[in-house]
Every structure is written in C-alpha cells, then in structure tokens.
Structure 1
C-alpha cells in the first residue's frame, strides 16, 4: 500500500502547488473508499482535471505496486461543488497478472459527479515508436499565464500551473501550449502521472475556439468526457508541450485530440475530450 503522507507534507515554496499536491493525496477511509476536497482555485467551480487526477490516485491505491495507470476513460456527469467533500468509491473490475481494471465514482451527497474506468499495468518492455514532437517556440520565449486567474480569453487558466501559449495559426483548429506545475515536486512517479492527467484537461479544446474565432466569454462550455493514455514517464514540474487539434464541432459539441511531449521530445501521453459548446445569446 502506498503512503501519501510525503505528498501532504511536501513544501516547494509555491503555496498553490503544495495545495494541489495535498489535494491529490486522497484520504483512505476503507479498502475501497477515499475522500478528498477541492483546491481553493478556481473558487466557484471544481476543475475537471482535479477530479480525474484524484480518481486516478484512488484507483492506484487499491493495486499492488509497481502497477501504474496507463489509460482512463471518464464521464463528467454533474458539476462539482467546491465547498462539498468528495467521496471516491473504487470498484474492482479485474485483477490479472499484468493488468488491473478499476471503476472510480466521484460522489457528492451520494450523487455521481464523475465516473471513470482506469486500467493499470505492471511495467514491461515491448515494441517502441512514437510520433515526433512538432517544432514550436521555446517556452522561455513566450509570455507566462496563470490559469484560473485573469487571462485574455476568460477564466480558462490555475495558480499552481505555468501555461505559455504558442501563437495560434489563423483559421486553423489547432493549439499548442507549454505547461508545468510551479515549484519542485516529490519524485513519486504516481504523483507525476496524476498531475499529467490533471494538466491534460487544460487547453485541449482551444483549437475549436481558434477555428471559429470565439472567446471563452462568448460561449457556455462544459466538459462531457475525457480519455488519456499514459505512454512514457514524465515530470509534471518540467516543461511539457501540449499540442492539440479539434477535428470536428457539431451539435453544440466539439472534440479535441492532443499529444503531450517532454521538452526532450518524448511522447508522454495522448488525450481526447468532447465538450459542450453553446454560443451565448444576446443580452436581454
């Protein structure tokens, strides 16, 4: 059984990052039940990436090391309330020699907010290839932005995260951003996996807004589902390029696909998400 005490006690000197790490250290109350709370930023809603990351940690706590998550598929069922504690109920679907599968339901007041299926694998060697990392401007040459605070396109950005957007291609449906968690983090690979999941919920649909030249303040959005495949280890406190493309928007929904690379060019993860996107009507 893993001990998350070091996560809760870690101090990087960046309060927002330490709070995030502590929030991901869910508390175990039974063999298959965990509780957790939300970060103070954003203040009026629960960030979906937080729930995904907490659910991944809860699932990982129920398997025997060295098994770690390699994929998850989640639905956002209801909006979470930041002032209400979450319960994470883990159901064992399979325990095999190489793979384990868990379902994790995040609940508030006995209602499911997020439901996830996550597959975990004992590390092993096999065939290896990957797409190359696209050429993008260096993060040091781009303006810094702090998500969930004031940003040019509305409340799309988190105090713990340094986000640097590459210049968009006009008329395209793609987006590239550099991301990292501010401050140094513990070395626990499970924490870094959980934080990759957390970061994967940023900017994945930005290409759809670029394609239609709309600001986040002009539309109502809500994440509907999210999938991620974790291919290679990566540190969340080092720069990660998140390159995304929206292949389609229709029926008041937009789809995004993304690849996350380390600065050295290793493909760490791929992700996909569908989001509700409704244009706001004129003010009455």
Structure 2
C-alpha cells in the first residue's frame, strides 16, 4: 500500500458500488489551507451524520498534516454536538507537538463555526519492538451467517444497498457481548491511510450491542447518543476484507453504557482496539 495519502485519487476511484464511492469521496477531505480542510456527509444514514464518518474524516485531516512515514496509532474524540448532513463540514487542525518519534494533532470538526466533534490524534514513526496480542475469539464463519446492511436495506441485497456489510454471530445468552463480521462491500484503492480511515469508520458499528443484548433492549426502545470514542491502531488491515468486530460492555450506569471492542482480521491479527461511552435513555424519558 502507498504511504503518502492521495485523497484526489480516492475521489476518482470507481468501485462499481455507488454507496462505497460516496463514502470514499466523503473521507477524501479537501484542503483549504495548510491546516484547514472541508468535507461533506454521506447520503446514509438519513437525517443524521454517523459518528464513524466524522472520526474517519478527522483522522484523514490530521494525517494530511503529518509527514510520512509517521502513521496514526491512537485517537481520542468527543462528540460535542449533533452534526447535520445538509451542512458542509470544516476541519481545523492544530499542531500540539512535533517530536522525534511522535506527532500530536488536534482536529476540530465544525459546522457554522460551532464544534461538533473534537479529536486528539497521535502519530508514531515505525519502530521494531516486543509484540503480542489477545487471541482472536472462536466465532462462526461469516460464510455461515446472514448478511445485512446498516441504515437501510435494498431488495437486490446488501452489496448494492450500502457501503458496509454486517454478519452478526449468534450472541451468547446472558453476556454483555457482541461479535459482528464486517467489511466494505467493494474493493478499495491500495492506500494505507484510506484503509486506516475505513477501520476507524467501522469501529463505530455495534460497539454497544453487548449492552443492548444483555438487557434485551431494542434500539427503537431507547434514545442514544455517542458521547466519546477512543481507538488504538495496532497493525495494518484492509477494510474491504472481513474483519471481526468483537465487543463487550463492562459497565452501564447512570444512563451511560460503555463498550470496548477488538477488531481482528480474518487471519486472526488484532488490527485495532476501540472504546466508547454512549448515553442510553428510555424513549419515555425527557
């Protein structure tokens, strides 16, 4: 994969799946100046902006201000306000540090001069060192599971309906956990930064499903809002290959639920770890 990102080439990419091309184009933020970028939201979901899209766009904007071969290794975000899909986004990047091994950036995503999401991202020059990882859990093969597409469904199947295909493993009774195979539904360009951004995007799916599974709560029965999101990127992975999003909820209290997830490649490598806290209120609550 290439090291230096090339968003212009992303926008020119045609995968054969319009929803994938729309997502790729949204992540290909456009430079306004050395530290400012602009972008738009995807057509799905309707009437709201998916948090994973904002996280991925912020990751790309920050990366475009850091010289290669430094690569994103962690990011921490707060969702400050709900973003509106009809309003263009502006991304302002602030340099917090440029060291010998690490570079740190803050990215504020704004609409109408108000911050909707704020991200701190850290970049690391490649180094060799000790290595280990959690083992990949034993889960059903995606080939044995029914497919669905988040946000909406079309009669001609998930690959045409949207940019992401999900295949949920059978939940284990009484445990606050969820395991979902996921992938982008069409081939992506061989650009490491794009695949990393897509991994960030995918990390926001199903991360709190374990809490809902444990309490037997259907999403329409509650009002939810993602409050924050953290992610650590360990190893390269392709987002257009199967990834296992294995998550659990260690706690829910005070109308907030916590989720933690590992994202594994089909060959068993731990590509990333993510964590999120979400506001969860009864639909009857004010």
TM over 0.5: yes
CA contact under 8 A between 2:80 and 2:116: conserved in structure 1? yes
Q: TM-score, normalised by structure 2?
A: 0.95
Q: TM-score, normalised by structure 1?
A: 0.95
State the distance in 2 between where 1:124 and 1:13 align.
38
State the distance in 1 between where 2:153 and 2:24 align.
23
| Pick aligned residue for 1:243 from 241, 246, 253 | 246
| Pick aligned residue for 1:73 from 53, 73, 76 | 76
State the distance in 1 between where 2:107 and 2:125 align.
19
Helix, strand or coil at the partner of 1:30: coil
Helix, strand or coil at the partner of 1:51: helix
2:141 maps to 138
* Residue 8 (structure 2) pairs with residue 8 (structure 1): no
State the distance in 2 between where 1:78 and 1:170 align.
35
Deviation of 1:3 after TM superposition, in Å, equals 2.8
Deviation of 1:150 after TM superposition, in Å, equals 5.0
> Structure 2 unaligned runs (5+)?
155-160
1:91 maps to 94
Deviation of 1:122 after TM superposition, in Å, equals 1.3
Deviation of 1:160 after TM superposition, in Å, equals 0.3
> Structure 1 unaligned runs (5+)?
152-157
State the distance in 2 between where 1:125 and 1:200 align.
26
Mean Cα deviation higher: 1-10 or 71-80: 1-10
Q: CA RMSD in A?
A: 1.2
1:24 maps to 27
CA deviation map 1:57-100 (0-9, x unaligned): 00000010111100000000000000000000000000011110
CA contact under 8 A between 2:5 and 2:192: conserved in structure 1? no
Helix, strand or coil at the partner of 2:32: strand
| Pick aligned residue for 2:126 from 119, 123, 126 | 123
2:110 maps to 107
Mean Cα deviation higher: 175-184 or 165-174: 165-174
Mean Cα deviation higher: 76-85 or 158-167: 158-167
State the distance in 2 between where 1:78 and 1:84 align.
13
CA contact under 8 A between 2:5 and 2:194: conserved in structure 1? no
Count of equivalent residues: 276
1:164 maps to 167
State the distance in 2 between where 1:150 and 1:29 align.
36
CA deviation map 1:185-207 (0-9, x unaligned): 00100000000000000000000
State the distance in 2 between where 1:173 and 1:2 align.
38
Deviation of 1:2 after TM superposition, in Å, equals 4.0
